[in-house]
Structure 1
Amino acid sequence: MSVPDRCDICSENEVRIRSWSELQEQLFQDSWNPEIGRFRSRYAFRGLSDTTYRLETTLTRLGGSYAELERHILRNFRKYAHRSVVERDSLWHWLSVAQHYGSPTRLLDWTYSPFVAMHFATANIDRFDTDGVIWAVNYLKAHRLLPEHLRLKLEAEGANVFTVEMLSESLPSFQELRRPEMLSAGEVVLFLEPPSIDDRIVNQFALFSVMSDPTAPLDGWLRDCPEIWRKIVIPAHLKWEIRDKLDQANITERVLFPGLDGLSHWLNRHYSPRR
């Protein structure tokens, strides 16, 4: 099968790459920052093994009356979890911990690292017959759409994304997300850095996104803001090459999930025959 020499632009925001080198070019596109004279990307990345997967949270995937169940799930998580696992007894600390340990939340996992996103797009070898995808969202532009009091909070801190401490001061409860000044801006998305609970969060260069309305799908919101995102499609036939090169670069489960579980997952995938 012949392969074109260049990217196939599927739409204004969707690019189907044709080689490893084109993938690097797409992921590091717009990373030059003339204000500081450095290459500093303002994109958050999320890799998925199947291009048809939506940007759904674990809370959404729960199904049923998940929006009504959200506060009950978090209340019970807080009740039964060790209190020593959080720095502060606040909504955003507990949400970060709950997300980290797999409890359903309205948070969605992202990473600052294009290579970590590549890992998650190619980690499931059972999906190597399916096109993968990496979503790239400019969090700086997304935050320009926030209500004024949140934009001013970022400016006062000289920050591009929120910390859990900043959100604990500005939005201490779920109800604050539905205040009139929030609703007047329509549905909004914000990005936050989780506390460094363990090496997994640090090694994955992790951050989260959260929608003001837990029932609003992020990919639906993005369709109305085409200037802030790109969708980079990885053809199935390129997955093995990308996977092997990531392994050579030490971007593996052994590093991203420190501990015996990560080591075992890496060994299982690394020594599986190509099929």
Structure 2
Amino acid sequence: MLSVTEITVSSTTELTETVLSLVKEAEDDAPLWFRGQYSADWQLKSSLARSVTTSEQMFEKELRLLTRFRQRSLPFWPQGYPQDDWEHLFAMQHYGAPTRLLDWSENLFVGLYFSCTRGAYSKHSEVDDAANPVVWVLDPVGWNRGLGHLKDNASSVSILTTADDDELRPYSVSGRADFPRRYNAPVAIYGTHNSSRIVAQRGGFTIAGKSLDPMDSFAAEVGEKKLWKIKLLYSRDQMRRDLAVLGFAESMVFPDLVGLSREISESEGLHG
């Protein structure tokens, strides 16, 4: 059975060269997406899926969270700004509420940044600073075309958008795991750019289906060369130095006063 393709690299230069070689393997010159994780031991599992034990609980909690977010976030949006369930879901993800979404980026160095920076992971109960970080690489077009329920129209399938009603209906919010035509495997989707962070991070998303299994467990089903796991065998300090040399700063990933404050604190050797 085919599964995740695992690669190891020992420098940022080698990482970049490896990714450039993968671009040549991507289907129809499709874009690649990147996701950095602080530990190579962690699988590709959404925050909401990690918080429940059954699919039924996942959808019930999602509906409740979405309803409460919609009710209480109104004062923070421009007056009259319309939002549907999907738009709220993308906003929830970027402001830290549990969802079925996983963040990806079109920018390799955004992925590397999250590999070497604790960020939200500082609250993770299983953080191990001795573990190697990882950059996951996804061919989102190839992944979607490899999904069983989309294979019949594979030649016309690309990265989904919120306008793809028929294809996205099985992944919609309903509060029920047994919603007709729900599928197990995650699907790649472009999100609504309703957050400056989504824009800055050149964000894309995958959204989990009804299964609580991690995304990487579906790699064999989807097919070869759709998902790669690049383990980084060099120090996080070196990664940070490389990113700094390349002009990649925290305020570029978090374009707000919080990101700027962290950036200037780091530059002065201070940690808040």
Q: Give the corresponding residue for 1:29.
A: 21
Q: Does the residue aligned with 1:222 lie in a helix, a strand or coil? A: helix
TM norm structure 1: 0.77
The list of structure 1 runs, each at least 4 consecutive aligned residues, that deviate by more than 6 angstroms after superposition, is: 33-36
Letter in structure 2 aligned against 1:161: I
**CA spacing shift, 1:60–1:48, aligned 2, 3 Å:** same
Whether the aligned pair in 2 keeps the contact of 1:87 and 1:93 (CA below 8 Å) is no
Structure 2 counterparts to residues 173-188 of structure 1, below 5 A:
173-175=172-174, 182=181, 187-188=184-185
Structure 2 counterparts to residues 119-130 of structure 1, below 5 A:
119-124=113-118, 129-130=130-131
Distance (whole Å) between structure 2 residues aligned to residue 34 and residue 105 of structure 1: 28
Q: Among residues 163, 166, 172, which one is paired with 1:165 in the alignment?
A: 163
Which is further off, 70-79 or 220-229?
Answer: 220-229
Q: Give the corresponding residue for 1:229.
A: 227
1:80 aligns with 2:72: yes
Per-residue deviation, 1:59: 0.8
**CA spacing shift, 1:94–1:41, aligned 2, 3 Å:** same
1:107-145 deviation line (CA, Å, top 9, x unaligned): 111111111101111123997643110111211111113
Q: Does the residue aligned with 2:21 lie in a helix, a strand or coil? A: coil
Letter in structure 2 aligned against 1:202: V
Q: Among residues 39, 47, 51, which one is paired with 1:50 in the alignment?
A: 39
Per-residue deviation, 1:240: 2.2
Unaligned 5+ segments in structure 1 are 1-10
Distance (whole Å) between structure 1 residues aligned to residue 198 and residue 25 of structure 2: 26
1:250 aligns with 2:247: yes
TM norm structure 2: 0.78
Q: Give the corresponding residue for 2:93.
A: 99
Per-residue deviation, 1:189: 2.0
Q: Does the residue aligned with 2:146 lie in a helix, a strand or coil? A: coil
Aligned length: 253
Which is further off, 136-145 or 112-121?
Answer: 136-145
Same amino acid, percent of matched pairs: 25
Distance (whole Å) between structure 2 residues aligned to residue 13 and residue 33 of structure 1: 13
Structure with greater proportional strand content? 1
Per-residue deviation, 1:194: 1.5
Whether the aligned pair in 1 keeps the contact of 2:94 and 2:197 (CA below 8 Å) is no
Distance (whole Å) between structure 1 residues aligned to residue 141 and residue 167 of structure 2: 21
Q: Give the corresponding residue for 2:125.
A: none
Per-residue deviation, 1:27: 1.9
Distance (whole Å) between structure 2 residues aligned to residue 115 and residue 41 of structure 1: 18
CA-atom RMSD, angstroms?
Answer: 3.4
Q: Give the corresponding residue for 1:7.
A: none
Unaligned 5+ segments in structure 2 are 123-127
**CA spacing shift, 1:109–1:221, aligned 2, 3 Å:** same
Q: Among residues 217, 221, 236, which one is paired with 1:220 in the alignment?
A: 217
Per-residue deviation, 1:264: 1.6
1:109 aligns with 2:103: yes
Q: Among residues 61, 66, 77, which one is paired with 1:69 in the alignment?
A: 61
Whether the aligned pair in 2 keeps the contact of 1:92 and 1:167 (CA below 8 Å) is no
Letter in structure 2 aligned against 1:142: W
**CA spacing shift, 1:169–1:92, aligned 2, 3 Å:** farther
1:168-215 deviation line (CA, Å, top 9, x unaligned): 8852843598565x45xx522211111121322111010110122152
Distance (whole Å) between structure 1 residues aligned to residue 134 and residue 97 of structure 2: 25
Whether the aligned pair in 1 keeps the contact of 2:37 and 2:134 (CA below 8 Å) is yes
**CA spacing shift, 1:129–1:78, aligned 2, 3 Å:** same
Distance (whole Å) between structure 2 residues aligned to residue 53 and residue 33 of structure 1: 26
Distance (whole Å) between structure 1 residues aligned to residue 249 and residue 81 of structure 2: 29
Q: Does the residue aligned with 2:230 lie in a helix, a strand or coil? A: strand
